[in-house]
Amino acid sequence: MKRLLVIIIVLSFAVSGISAGLISFGFGAQGVNSQPISAESAFEDWTYGAEMRLGVLFLEGSLNGRFTSESEFTGLVTVGTNLSLFGLLHIGVGVGPELGLQFPEGEIGWFYRDDNGFKQPSNDILEMFNNGLVHYRAHADVKFGRFSWGLSYEVPSSGFTFSNEDYLSMVPHWDQAQFGTSLLFWLF
């Protein structure tokens, strides 16, 4: 057990030694093509919103969302890993549920997409996190000083949520993959 702990510590210092820093925090704008990659799409199919990332050593948490209609804001909360090479290239992968916010007629309500992809209203954050349809997300960014421009790839699972035990539904639903881009400002 001690050897494993020493190996993990050495790898952590090695990764942080070639990365730009121990902690990174960036926020900015994001756009995602609402049509799956396999379908033809136009400029009107893109939805826009915001993205925020926090990295500590090789771990990364990401929160991104976009307006899918005038009264709906949906996004992903992902946890994963990242690697920043020499402060120039930032690569990361994560997994997490899709959550949303609806505000028709002035009322605000939360929702999540269940394992069948249907919206389910809820005001319990833990319930939404556990029952939300899990998505996979990968991103790659090129840094220009404090700014970065990047591409992202989001794929929903075939019905996996953290609360169900159907591990076969962890398989990505490749036909529903979406392509996106982001422009972020990095505080550190």
pLDDT digits (tens, 9 = 90+) for 55-69: 998 899 999 999 988
* Average confidence score pLDDT of the chain: 87
What is the pLDDT, as a whole number, of residue 105? 78
In order, the DSSP letters of the chain are -HHHHHHHHHHHHHHHHHSS-SEEEEEEEEEEESS-TTS---GGGEEEEEEEEEEETTEEEEEEEEEEETTEEEEEEEEEEEEEETTTEEEEEEEEEEEEEE-GGG--EEEEE-TTS-EEE---HHHHHHHSPEEEEEEEEEEETTEEEEEEEEEEBSS--SS---GGGGSB-GGG-EEEEEEEEE--
How confident is residue 5, by pLDDT bands cut at 50, 70 and 90?
low
Q: Where are the domains of the chain?
A: 2-186
Q: What is the pLDDT of residues 136-157, one digit of tens each?
A: 999 999 999 899 999 999 999 9
Give me the sign of the Cα torsion angle 50, 179, 175, 53.
negative
Please say if the pLDDT value at position 21 is more than 70.
Answer: no
More confident residue, 182 or 108: 182
Please say if the pLDDT value at position 100 is more than 80.
Answer: yes
Please say if the pLDDT value at position 72 is more than 60.
Answer: yes
How confident is residue 174, by pLDDT bands cut at 50, 70 and 90?
very high
Whether residue 60 contacts residue 75, with contact meaning beta carbons closer than 8 Å, is answered with no
Q: How far is it, in rounded angstroms, from Cα 131 to Cα 129? A: 6
Give pTM, 2 decimals: 0.84
Query: In this structure, which topology does domain 2-186 adopt according to CATH?
Result: Porin (2.40.160)
Lowest mean pLDDT segment, chosen from 74-83, 99-108, 168-177, 179-188: 99-108
What is the pLDDT, as a whole number, of residue 6? 65
Q: What is the pLDDT of residues 28-45, one digit of tens each?
A: 999 999 888 766 777 788
Please say if the pLDDT value at position 19 is more than 90.
Answer: no
